[in-house]
Structure formats: structure tokens, C-alpha cells
Amino acid sequence: MTRKYTTLEDVALAAGMSRAQVSRALRGDPGVKPETREHVAQVAKTLGYQPNIAARALVSAQPDTVGIIIGEPTNPFHIQLAQAIDAELQRVGLDSVVSLRAQDDPATLREGDRLLRLRVAGVILISKPRNKEALAALAEQLPCVYLGKRVNHSNVSTIDIDDKSGVEQAIGHLIALGHRRIAHLAGTVEISARERTAAYRAAMRHAGLAANVVMGTHDVASGRRGVDTLAEQGEFPTAIFASNDAIALGAIDRLKGRGLRVPEDVSVIGFDDIPDATSEMLALTTVRQDVDQQAREAVAALQLLAFSTVRKVIRKVLPVSLVVRRSAGPPRN
């Protein structure tokens, strides 16, 4: 149906002035008489004028669009982050193009080409492409901000969270409550998971307590299995620190299945603060990562990398904080 769009020219004609002036008026350029501005706005509205982005982009050298590449689109947490970044981008007057294509599939590089063709100012990546080459190739072409563990590339800024501190807060909380036997249900695959496990060991050692790590993965099923494993070990721990909320959820489920109450019999702490954790039933004590803050930092980092004259790469680690709800309490005796 090849629509016929209203152009600046049409508006100019109807308003009885030049295209240039109409353009200025519409964009809020300072040098325009207020009444002119108003009149133009009026005419533009009645004509249903919408500026043609392509034309605008073509003529103005500075690109104002940023690509967002989502690592695992089916992970709601990643989407949540993408939404926050999108909103933040909008807030600072930038536009965004989000890519749903998984980073690991062979199309990823093509996706980089697409962004290049779109002349985006830079790219924000949520979670890493598993193969480093893809990231490197992208970084070769465009300023990149990567949300995840620090990566050593001279063209990539990274925004990370302080896993170590989060773990220390969690373990510290449990110890303060009086727990001594604190087990850890670990993730194995992600770098952040390994970092959390290492931090757990360190914190326990530091407190003069024995570490007890059950390996697993960052999902609900793993939490269930973890509890079964702990049960087979003999003396059950009084507290469990899970490497993420999904594991914690699974663990709580299995604990209840075994007739153990949370937190009366066993305390549980998670990591991430996913929406489910808030639920009245669960009331999971957990380590929160601030999504909005991550978004803000990521956008700021990109601006620094793509728009400033200094072109500075930054590596930032954001603080996390323990959110105390009801899943952790003092041990029984």
C-alpha cells in the first residue's frame, strides 16, 4: 500500500515558510519565534507529519542509535536488563535497536554487520558470546559495552557486579544469625558462579568454618538435587547459600518436600533477587543486583566510549546488597 507520507516540504508550504525554519521549529532549535514554533507544531500535527528517520540520520553525521544484543533472549533476567537499558537510552535521547538473535549462533557476526550498516554509535552486550572471537570481531568495528565479567579488550568497557562482596554479605549474615554449618549449592558453568564459590570458600575459611560445596548448575532442578546430596552426607547443614535464586527456589522446594521448614529448620539465601524471590510465599533473603543501575552505568560507559572526545574504556564493578526477607533466620538451638 505504499503510503504517501507528509514531508517537511508539505508542512513548510502549508505553514507558509521555508523547510529549514520548519525543521528548526520542530526540533526545538533556539532561534525560532515562539508563535512561529507553535504555528508550525499545529500545522505539522494536522498534517500528521512524522519526520523521516532515515533522511535525518543520513544528513546528521552523529549517529544517535545504539545496538543492544541480548545474550540469552529467553532468560527473563536478560530481557529485564534490556528493557532497563532501552529506557535509559531513551532518557538520554538515544535510540536503540535490539537484537534477539542469540549471540552464539553463526548469525552473530552478520548481526554485527547489520548494526554497522545501521551506523549505530555502539553496542551494549548483555552477557557474553561464548566464543571470544565474536566479541573481538565486534569490538574491532564498534565501541562495545559488555555487561559481565571483565574482558581484556582495549575497545570494550565492562560493567560487572561485585559477586565477592555479595557472598560476603550473605555468609556474614548467616554467621551473625548463629549458623556454623553453612553449605553452598554452586553453579559451575558461568564465570560469576565460580567467583561466588571461591568467595564462599574464602569467607568460610576466614570465619574458621568448614566449607561444604555441592556442585550443580544455575537452575531449579539443581537446587533440588543439591538438597538430596546434602541429605546423604549425614549431618544436615543449618543454612544453605545458593549461587543464584533459581537454585535457592529448587532447594526450598525440596526441603519442604522432605518436611523441613524454612527458615525454622534450614535457612536459605539466594543471589540475584529475581521477581519470584519477592513472593509472599517464598520471601527469599537474597543478594540484589540493581538492574537500573547497571543500565545507567552501561549507557554512561557507552557514551564515554562513543561520543566523548576522550574515548575512554572503563571497567566498573557495581555494589550489591543483601535483601533480608524471611527465608533465613537463627538456627534451631
Q: Are strands 65-70 and 122-126 parallel, antiparallel or unpaired?
A: parallel
Cβ(193)–Cβ(246) under 8 Å?
no
| Out of 306, 320, 322, 328, the residue judged to bind its own copies by CB under 8 A | 306
Q: How far is CA 278 from CA 63, 88, 269, 275, 287, in A?
A: 40, 24, 13, 6, 12
Cβ(206)–Cβ(221) under 8 Å?
no
56 binds DNA (CB under 7 A): yes
5 binds DNA (CB under 7 A): yes
Burial 71-87 (b: 16+ CB within 10 A, else e): bebeeebbbbbbebbbe
Rounded to an integer, what distance in angstroms lies between the CA atom of residue 109 and that of residue 88?
Answer: 26
Largest CA-CA distance found in the chain, in angstroms, rounded: 87
Identify what 64 binds: its own copies, DNA, none; CB under 5 to 8 Å per kind. none
Identify what 116 binds: its own copies, DNA, none; CB under 5 to 8 Å per kind. its own copies
213 binds its own copies (CB under 8 A): no
For DNA, which is the closer residue by CB, 117 or 176?
117
Cell representation of residue 232: 546423604
Pattern 54-93, its own copies, x by CB under 8 A: xx-xx--xx----------xx-x--xx-xx--xx------
For its own copies, which is the closer residue by CB, 76 or 319?
76
90 binds DNA (CB under 7 A): no
45 binds DNA (CB under 7 A): no
β-bridge mates for residue 146, sequence order: 125, 158
Radius of gyration of the chain (CA): 26
Q: Which residues bind DNA (CB under 7 A)?
A: 5, 7-9, 16-21, 23-27, 31-34, 36, 49, 51-52, 55-56, 58-60
The contact set with its own copies (CB under 8 A) reads: 1-2, 5, 50-55, 57-58, 61-62, 73-74, 76, 79-80, 82-83, 86-87, 95, 97-98, 100-102, 113-114, 116-119, 143, 220-221, 224-225, 253-254, 256-259, 275-276, 279, 281, 305-307, 311
